């Protein structure tokens, strides 16, 4: 996979792209990263990338020309048509499902804006996706692009030490992930559940599934809107609800 980021602050990505899983993915040649300053593509002597909004109003708006020109150059270099992602608080709320979708692409281009926003022609005629990582506003799109890139890269085959790790993540199954424990089995009187040291993997799998269901019911019941429950799962939730109300 190839990931290009168009930003006015490429230095922000140096640590992210050269650390942890991102670095491992690069070393394994699973992904290549590039942060491009789109100011370099701005017309004129002073390389101005923003201007006042037509009709008045607060703030400055990013001009279309630098972004269009930068994307056109990157597309000419591309072997396949890239997904062009606008990081924007008005965009589609980001989910694990979207991460899995993007992980199937060969080339992603992120547009990271600042100031009041983008010229609307960027939104209408240039990008393929608009993504928001949450219902809040950041100073720019860079942090959001880092979040999306990290969540996508870790899904690429061979990036994690165990490919099953990504499959078992919270949200991948539609539910939150079950609790985890490691050694020692007894830490300051806090013991690991007996089932996990039993060696019975079928029972362990059942326990984990039940704990995943319970954690989702307790913390994110809204996820059930998109996760059809079996009769057994419904009965478990009914029993927990009954205990809660008594």
Orientation angle between helical segments 142-153 and 20-27, nearest 10 degrees = 60
Name the active-site residue from 100, 101, 130, 169. 169
Residue 85 assigned ligand-binding role: no
136 in a labelled binding site: yes
Active site residue: 116, 150, 210, 233, which one? 116
181 is in an annotated binding site: no
| Alpha-helical segments (H) within the chain | 14-17, 20-27, 64-77, 96-102, 120-125, 142-153, 164-167, 201-219, 231-245
223 burial (CB, 10 Å; 0-12 / 13-18 / 19+) is middle
Quick one: CA dihedral 2, 48, 144, 132, positive or negative? negative
Q: Is 116 a catalytic residue?
A: yes
Task: Determine whether 89 is an active site residue.
Answer: yes
User: 137 labelled as ligand-binding?
Assistant: yes
Marked catalytic residue, from 53, 64, 89, 179: 89
CA dihedral 96, 100, 103, 109 (to 10 degrees): -50
**Calpha distance 65→53 (Å, rounded):** 15
Annotated binding residues, written as ranges, equal 113, 133-138
* Residues labelled catalytic: 89, 116, 154, 169
Binding residues for S-adenosyl-L-methionine, by number, are 113, 133-138
């Amino acid at each position: 996979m190839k990931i290009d980021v168009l930003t006015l602050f490429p230095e922000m990505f140096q640590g992210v792209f050269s650390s942890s899983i991102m670095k491992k993915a690069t070393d394994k040649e699973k992904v290549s990263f590039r942060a491009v300053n789109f100011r370099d593509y701005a017309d004129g002597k002073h390389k101005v990338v923003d201007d006042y909004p037509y009709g008045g109003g607060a703030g400055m708006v990013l001009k279309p020309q630098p972004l269009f020109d930068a994307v056109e150059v990157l597309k000419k270099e591309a072997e396949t048509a890239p997904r062009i992602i606008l990081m924007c608080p008005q965009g589609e709320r980001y989910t694990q499902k979207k991460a899995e979708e993007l992980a199937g692409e060969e080339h992603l281009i992120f547009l990271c804006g600042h100031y009041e926003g983008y010229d609307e022609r960027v939104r209408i005629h240039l990008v393929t996706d608009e993504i928001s990582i949450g219902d809040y506003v950041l100073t720019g799109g860079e942090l959001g692009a880092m979040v999306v890139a990290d969540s996508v890269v870790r899904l690429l085959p061979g990036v994690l030490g165990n490919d099953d790790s990504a499959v078992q993540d919270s949200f991948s199954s539609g539910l939150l992930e079950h609790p985890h424990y490691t050694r020692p089995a007894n830490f300051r009187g806090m013991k690991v559940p007996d089932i996990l040291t039993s060696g019975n993997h079928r029972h362990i799998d059942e326990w984990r599934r039940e704990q995943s269901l319970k954690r989702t019911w307790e913390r994110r019941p809204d996820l059930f809107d998109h996760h059809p429950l079996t009769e057994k799962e419904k009965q478990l939730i009914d029993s927990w609800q009954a205990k809660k109300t008594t």
